[in-house]
Every structure is written in C-alpha cells, then in structure tokens.
C-alpha cells in the first residue's frame, strides 16, 4: 500500500467534489489501486490553513465545509502566508483548485511555485496559471523531479488532456475543434428550450458550472484559456491569449437561437486551433452549426473535442465539461497517473 499525502488549496466546488469522491471511494482506491490517499492539509481564503498530519476524517471535513466553519478541524496554522504553509506541510501533492485568474494567475501561481519549490507535485484544475505560466512551472517541476497534473483544466475529468498528450500527439494533430465551456453550452441549450439568458446563467451558477465571476465563461475567456492550454501542451505551440481571436455568447439573443432552430441549425461556442503551413490560428466564437454536425448535438454542460490527426483522421471525445464531482475526478485521475509513474517527466512533456 502506497500512502499518498495531499494538501488542498481551494475548498469550493472542485475541492469539495474531490473530497466527495474520496469519501465514497477511499476503500476501493486502497483495494484496486493500492493507494491510501490522505488529506493532511486544507486551505481556503475563507477559512485559513488547517493541518492534520494523520489525515482528516473526510466526512467530518465535508460536514464542516457545509457548515462553513473549520474550527476544530486539525490545527489552524497562523503562519504569515499560505505559501509558507504549503512549504511547511509534509505532503507529496498540492491539489490546487482556488479561483482562476487569467490576468496574472494570482494567487494560485504562488501556491504552485511554493509547492514545486518544496518537493510537491502539483495537480490542478486552475486554468490561469497553466495558460499563463506553464513553461515556467514545467521547468521548476523538471528541476525537482516532479510532475504537474492538468487534466481538470480542460473538459473537467473527461480525459481530453491525457488523450491529446499521451496518445494522439503521436498521431500528428493538425487541428482541434471543440465545445470547451460547460456554462455557455448549458446556457445556449436552455435558451433553445425557451429560457432567458439570465435564468439559464443563474441555473449554471447554481449547478457549479460557472466560474466565481461568470464573465470569464460568457465572454469566452474561459474557452480561450483552454485553447491556449491545448495549443501549448497538446500541439506544442507557444501561443498566448493574444493569439486567440475571441468572442463570447453575451450577444446571442433568444431570437438568434430561435431563428437558427427554425433553419435546422444551432449556435455553439466553438474553440478552434489549426495549423496551416506551420502557422497556428486560434479562435473562440459563437458558430452556427447544422444539426447534423456532431458538435451541434452536444447539449447542456457536456463538452466535446475533435482532434484531427494525420494517422487517425478525426477522433472525438464527448463528456462532462464542468461540475463539482466531474472536476474533482480530474484531480483524482492525475494523482493516480502521477503515482503510477516513477520516472519524473515521462508522463507530461516537461
Ligand atoms: N466554468 C467552466 C465551464 C468550468 O463552464 O466550462 C470548467 O472549466
């Protein structure tokens, strides 16, 4: 049995989704994977930093989070900063699921640097630091013989990154096209059913799909961040946000949606990356698709990604794009993948 000690920063939707999975699956993870995953530290801006070197009792932790009060859970650490707390914890992994920030990736990027500089693998669903600073983080990881798990940054726990990086890259990816944001796809689907944009957005927030600030979703920044991540990690092209032509769905009206429906079409927010003569073009924009297009039939918070490759033609993966447990599962799948590789740097291109 391998003991895996993790600390968590960010106890919102994703963090709690991971804890819920651990609560139900801990025994089977021990039995089937040979891993005893222990949460030995938790941190959130709302509560502060708490440590429990023997591992928190997960059900009690979830209950405390439900009640919004972690007092009495392990030891509250009064250190000057979360970065110092991260460095001081005895753990192999940092699970980073704090809010995303596409402007400068703060504060998550500092947490990741603190983890990598103190010998911890980083597993994250946080798109800002990966879209903006992946190459720096990968260099730090490589120097420390560590790895960075990024599955949850694109399509939640649906294994789009693992499929792209570990398998299809070798098939020669020439373009990627996808529905990469759950919130906007959910809103467009609900609008087609006659609901208003505002009600549909409120529903997406309630279901835990939307970001803390949903502007990032509806204006296409979230999908653009995923396009940047796919461009860098799957297509090995150093693109940035500035390279992505971006338009969100806030301008799409109920009338537009109905008009499209009457013509046998659907609006979808589509992210695209393609290489032509060595030049990459990248975009995120509302696109009118005929209903026979496979992407047109992907509804709700479900996402889809089509990799066009030289050796395999088109390969499409459809699955959850957002959600508490779905993104929590991404963290678990990265822990499993990293735990199974003993050689540093052979799972992700570093
Ligand atoms: N807000 C994001 C979405 C969460 O709706 O897709 C998953 O990245």
Concatenated DSSP letters for 71-137?
A: TTSSEEE--S-HHHHHHHS--SEEEE-S---TTT-TTHHHHHHHHHHTT-EEEE--HHHHHHHHHHH
Dihedrals φ, ψ of 45, to 5°?
A: -55, -35
Interval between CA 320 and ligand 1 midpoint (Å): 10
Q: What pLDDT score was predicted for residue 311?
A: 98
275 burial (CB, 10 Å; 0-12 / 13-18 / 19+) is middle
210 lines ligand 1 (CB under 6 A): yes
Given a cut of 50, the residues of the chain with pLDDT beneath it are 343-350
Q: What is the atom index within ligand 1 of the atom nearest the CA of 152?
A: 8
Coarse DSSP helix, strand, coil percentages of the chain, rounded to the nearest 5 percent: 45, 25, 30
Q: What pLDDT score was predicted for residue 79?
A: 77
The active-site residue, picked from 226, 265, 268, 285, is 226
User: CB-based contacts of 2: which residues, under 8 Å, 6+ apart?
Assistant: 34, 35, 36, 339
pLDDT, tens digit, 9 for 90 and up, residues 67-102: 999 999 999 998 789 999 999 999 999 999 999 999
Q: What domains, with CATH codes, occur in the chain?
A: 2-155+325-346 (3.40.50.720), 160-320 (3.30.360.10)
Q: What pLDDT score was predicted for residue 212?
A: 82
Pair of tokens at residue 262: 């009457």
Interval between CA 303 and ligand 1 midpoint (Å): 10
Q: What is the number of helices (H) and of strands (E) in the chain?
A: 12, 13
Pair of tokens at residue 113: 């640097």
User: CB-based contacts of 180: which residues, under 8 Å, 6+ apart?
Assistant: 154, 155, 222, 223, 226, 227, 269, 271, 284, 303, 305, 321
Dihedrals φ, ψ of 76, to 5°?
A: -75, 130
Q: What pLDDT score was predicted for residue 342?
A: 52
CA distance 88 to 68: 25
Q: What pLDDT score was predicted for residue 341?
A: 86
Residue with tokens 């979830």: 62
Local structure of 295: helix, strand or coil: helix
CA distance 185 to 137: 31
Q: What pLDDT score was predicted for residue 160?
A: 98
DSSP-assigned beta bridge partners for residue 2: 35
Q: What is the atom index within ligand 1 of the atom nearest the CA of 186?
A: 5
Interval between CA 196 and ligand 1 midpoint (Å): 20
Q: What is the DSSP letter of 155?
A: S
Q: What pLDDT score was predicted for residue 318?
A: 97
Q: 226 an active-site residue?
A: yes
On whether the CB atoms of residues 313 and 302 are closer than 8 A, the answer is no
CA distance 35 to 223: 34
CA distance 69 to 45: 12
């Amino acid at each position: 049995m391998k003991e895996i000690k993790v600390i968590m920063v960010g106890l919102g939707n994703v963090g709690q989704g991971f804890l819920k999975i651990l609560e139900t699956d801990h025994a089977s993870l021990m039995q089937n994977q040979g891993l005893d995953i222990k949460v030995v530290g938790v941190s959130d801006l709302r509560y502060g930093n708490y440590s429990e070197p023997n591992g928190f009792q997960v059900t009690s932790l979830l209950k405390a989070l439900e009640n919004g009060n972690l007092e009495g859970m392990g030891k509250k650490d009064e250190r000057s900063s979360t970065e110092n707390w991260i460095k001081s914890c005895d753990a192999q992994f940092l699970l980073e699921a704090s809010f995303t920030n596409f402007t400068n990736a703060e504060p998550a990027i500092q947490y990741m640097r603190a983890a990598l500089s103190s010998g911890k693998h980083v597993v994250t669903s946080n798109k800002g630091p990966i879209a903006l600073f992946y190459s720096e983080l990968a260099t730090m990881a490589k120097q420390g013989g560590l790895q960075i798990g990024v599955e949850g940054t694109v399509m939640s726990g649906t294994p789009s990154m693992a499929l792209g990086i570990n398998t299809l890259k070798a098939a020669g990816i020439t373009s990627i096209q996808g529905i990469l944001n759950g919130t906007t796809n959910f809103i467009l689907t609900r609008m087609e059913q006659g609901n208003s944009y505002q009600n549909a957005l409120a529903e997406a927030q309630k279901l835990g799909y939307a970001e803390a600030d949903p502007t990032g979703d509806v204006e296409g920044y979230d999908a653009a961040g995923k396009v940047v991540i796919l461009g860098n990690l799957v297509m090995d092209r150093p693109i940035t946000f500035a390279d992505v032509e971006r338009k969100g769905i806030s301008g799409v009206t109920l009338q537009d949606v109905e008009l499209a429906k009457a013509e046998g079409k659907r609006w979808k927010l589509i992210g695209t990356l393609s290489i032509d003569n060595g030049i990459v073009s990248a975009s995120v924009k509302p696109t009118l698709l005929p209903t026979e297009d496979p992407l047109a039939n992907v509804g709700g918070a479900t996402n889809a990604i089509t990799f066009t490759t030289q050796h395999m033609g088109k390969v499409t993966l459809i699955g959850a794009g957002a959600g508490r447990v779905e993104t929590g599962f991404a963290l678990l799948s990265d822990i499993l993948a990293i735990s199974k590789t003993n050689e540093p740097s052979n799972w992700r291109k570093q």
